[in-house]
Structures are given as structure tokens and as C-alpha cells.
């Protein structure tokens, strides 16, 4: 049984205890509220740029896109301009569908044996839905949080907040008056999607076999971020005004320590900082790598245009023609086939003895 997730879970629990005890018992608000977020952001930016620049230096001498459709060939054969694009416009459409809607993941299949040895293929539709829900909800949460770092808050962010938080729960009676603030669906969808991705790695044998602790660690971190965010909004009730001043102070370098926000806020911020610092060294870098993937961002015009490696240096090679010219006679003697037969030499005239020549001269 793969228990790699236990190492990641224990690590996240330890990080939670470090941040919570550090703030509540030791009063390290400056460390967890200012120093660690800045260090994490520096690591994230520097690491992200380094990985991208390192990938841009990787040689891509040939066109190697993954193709799932007919390439452009003869006029009467209809090509697939999206799956097998031969133009830049087709590549742009393919990249948009891949980045925004995970088109290749939508068509992913799972192989299984049924009724003994009967091979069956099934669409991985739930994986596609889970991945789509996870990424879009995470993006929505990130964009919503920009309201803490902007003043005034842009209209688009306000509109997104209204669309995301349209659902409300209120009980208004003379005896009982109870309600919750607008429920942001993206937070709960993110929590559910992370849970699904975790359970998938635990209960599907093939996925569990290849899963490592590094695969579970970001899932637990994101789960902790979503859970602490939900706790602060609906249960512990932190001071939003203080958090707004704190966030604005981080980007304007006018640092303030918020009062009355509790240890859960610093745990939330610490988890975000750890995720940022961990990001450039993990598989999460597919966020930037997808734009540089030669299997996605290249046209497939290999039948229309020959691609020559631009940095090939001249190398002296011994061609087959030269090899045959050198060993043709020996190859023929050995009975090996040759492209050119050796030239047939004309028989030489027999030489007359010297005595006969001298007698002819005397006569």
C-alpha cells in the first residue's frame, strides 16, 4: 500500500502547528506576517523566471507536436486544422482550448479488462471535470483576493465577487435572525475538487502506485488554504478592514500588524507562502511550461517543409558511395550486392619475347 500521503500530511500538520504556536504563544506576527511572505515571494519570482529561462534554452530542432488528426497533405483529403494545425492561427486555437478547457484531458481514456480478457476503453470524464473545477475555482479565488491589494477595487473584481457570492443563506423571523455572508462558491468548489484529486490518488490502484509524497504535498497545502479561508469567512470572523490595511502595507512597504485576526489568519498566510516558495520546484510549474511545450505550440508542417537543425556543425562523414568505391571489388568477390558494377578491364595483348623483336629488326 502506498502511504506516501502520510508524509505530506504530517508535514502540513507540523507547518500548521509551527505557525499557530509561533503566533499565539510566541508572538511572532512579524516573522509569519511580513518576513516569510516576502521571502516566499522572492523565491517564487526568482525560481519561476529561472525555470522559464532554462526551458527556453532547451533545443527544439524538430517539429514534435502530438497529433490526433489528419495532417494537411493532398487537396482532396480534409485536414484537422485544430488537432494537427499547419498555421499559426490553428496553433493559437489549439493552445486556447488546451489551456482554458483541457481539451486533451477531456479525450483521455482509461483502459481496463472486462469479462476476463476483453479490453475496454472508457473516458476519464470525472478527472476532466475535477481538474476543470479545481483550476477555475482556484483562479477565481486568486482574482477575488486582489481586492485586498487594490484601492479602489477594480470593477471586474467587484463583478466577479457578485457572481461568485450570489448565493446567500438567511433566516429572518421575529424570534430567530440568522444568516451567513454571501457564500463564495469558488471556495467550496476548490475544497471539493482538491478532495476528489486526493481520493483519486488514494483509491485508484494505478494512480496510487505512481503517486509520490511530492504529489500529495501541494494538495494538502491547497486544502489547508481553502479550509482556513472558509473558517475565517464563515466561522471565526476576522477583521476584514485590518487585513486590507495589512495587505496594502505589504505592497506599499508600509508594514502594519493587524489586530484581532487570530492565529488562523497567519496559518492561512503561512500556507500560501509555503505554496509560493514550493511552486518553482514542483510539478505546479506546468502553469508556465504549457506555453513552452513543443508538443503543443508548434505547427505540423513536416510534410510541406523540411526542417534542418540550425546549429549543426559540418561533420566529415564516410558516405556509402565512398565506402563502395573503396571496397567494390572486394564486395563483388565476396558476392555482396553493389550499386555499381566494377569496370570490366580489356584483356592486354601478349608481349612478344625480346629475342623475336631483335631478329625482326635485323631482317
E strand intervals along the chain: 109-114, 118-123, 167-172, 177-183
Considering the domain architecture, whether residues 283 and 322 belong to the same structural domain is answered as: no
Considering the domain architecture, whether residues 339 and 222 belong to the same structural domain is answered as: no
Mind listing the pLDDT tens digit of every residue in the chain (363 residues)?
568 889 999 999 999 999 999 999 998 999 999 999 999 999 999 999 999 999 998 887 788 888 888 888 888 989 888 888 988 999 999 999 999 999 888 888 777 777 777 888 777 889 999 999 999 999 999 999 999 999 889 999 999 988 888 776 655 555 665 566 678 889 999 999 999 999 999 998 888 888 999 999 999 999 999 999 999 988 887 888 899 999 999 999 998 888 878 899 999 999 999 999 999 999 999 999 999 988 889 888 888 887 777 777 777 888 888 888 889 888 888 888 888 887 766 666 666 566 555 666 555
Considering the domain architecture, whether residues 254 and 105 belong to the same structural domain is answered as: yes
Cβ–Cβ < 8 Å for 287, 99: no
Considering the domain architecture, whether residues 161 and 271 belong to the same structural domain is answered as: yes
Residue 61 lies in a domain: yes
Per residue in 104-121, pLDDT tens? 888 887 777 777 778 887
Q: Could you give the CA distance from residue 89 to residue 351 in angstroms, rounded to a whole number?
A: 80
Q: Residue 328: give the domain boundaries.
A: 315-344
Single pTM value for the model: 0.80
Residue 303 lies in a domain: no
Considering the domain architecture, whether residues 230 and 321 belong to the same structural domain is answered as: no
Residue 3 lies in a domain: no
Residue 250 lies in a domain: yes
Could you give the 3-state DSSP secondary structure of residue 331?
A: helix
Considering the domain architecture, whether residues 232 and 323 belong to the same structural domain is answered as: no
Alpha helices in 147-212 (DSSP H): 155-164, 185-203, 205-210
Could you give the angle at the alpha carbon of 156 between the alpha carbons of 238 and 232, nearest 5°? 15
Per residue in 170-181, pLDDT tens? 555 556 655 666
Residue 362 lies in a domain: no
Q: Could you give the CA distance from residue 143 to residue 62 in angstroms, rounded to a whole number?
A: 38
Number of domains in the chain: 2
Amino acid at each position: 500500500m502506498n502511504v506516501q500521503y502520510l508524509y505530506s500530511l504530517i508535514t502540513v500538520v507540523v507547518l500548521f502547528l509551527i505557525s499557530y504556536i509561533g503566533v499565539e504563544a510566541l508572538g511572532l506576527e512579524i516573522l509569519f506576517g511580513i518576513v516569510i511572505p516576502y521571502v516566499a515571494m522572492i523565491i517564487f519570482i526568482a525560481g519561476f523566471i529561472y525555470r522559464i529561462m532554462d526551458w527556453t534554452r532547451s533545443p527544439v530542432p524538430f517539429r514534435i507536436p502530438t497529433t490526433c488528426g489528419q495532417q494537411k497533405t493532398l487537396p482532396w483529403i480534409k485536414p484537422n486544422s485544430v488537432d494537427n494545425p499547419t498555421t499559426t492561427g490553428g496553433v493559437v486555437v489549439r493552445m486556447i482550448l488546451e489551456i482554458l478547457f483541457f481539451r486533451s484531458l477531456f479525450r483521455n481514456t482509461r483502459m481496463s479488462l472486462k469479462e476476463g480478457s476483453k479490453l475496454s476503453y472508457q473516458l476519464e470524464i470525472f478527472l476532466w471535470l475535477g481538474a476543470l473545477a479545481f483550476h477555475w475555482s482556484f483562479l477565481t479565488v486568486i482574482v477575488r483576493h486582489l481586492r485586498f491589494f487594490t484601492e479602489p477595487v477594480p470593477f471586474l473584481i467587484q463583478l466577479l465577487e457578485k457572481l461568485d457570492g450570489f448565493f446567500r443563506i438567511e433566516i429572518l423571523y421575529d424570534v430567530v435572525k440568522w444568516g451567513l455572508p454571501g457564500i463564495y462558491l469558488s471556495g467550496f468548489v476548490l475544497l471539493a475538487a482538491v478532495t476528489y484529486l486526493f481520493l483519486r490518488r488514494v483509491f485508484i490502484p494505478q494512480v496510487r502506485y505512481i503517486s509520490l509524497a511530492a504529489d500529495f504535498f501541494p494538495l494538502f497545502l491547497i486544502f489547508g488554504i481553502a479550509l482556513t479561508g472558509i473558517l475565517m469567512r464563515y466561522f471565526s470572523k476576522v477583521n476584514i478592514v485590518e487585513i486590507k490595511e495589512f495587505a496594502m502595507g505589504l505592497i506599499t512597504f508600509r508594514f502594519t500588524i493587524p489586530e484581532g485576526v487570530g492565529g488562523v489568519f497567519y496559518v492561512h498566510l503561512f500556507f500560501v507562502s509555503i505554496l509560493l516558495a514550493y511552486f518553482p520546484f514542483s510539478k505546479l510549474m506546468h502553469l508556465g511550461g504549457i506555453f513552452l511545450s513543443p508538443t503543443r505550440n508548434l505547427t505540423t508542417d513536416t510534410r510541406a517543409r523540411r526542417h534542418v537543425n540550425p546549429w549543426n556543425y559540418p561533420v566529415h562523414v564516410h558516405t556509402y558511395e565512398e565506402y563502395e568505391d573503396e571496397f567494390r571489388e572486394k564486395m563483388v568477390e565476396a558476392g555482396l550486392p553493389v550499386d555499381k558494377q566494377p569496370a570490366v578491364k580489356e584483356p592486354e595483348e601478349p608481349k612478344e619475347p625480346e629475342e623475336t623483336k631483335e631478329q625482326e629488326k635485323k631482317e
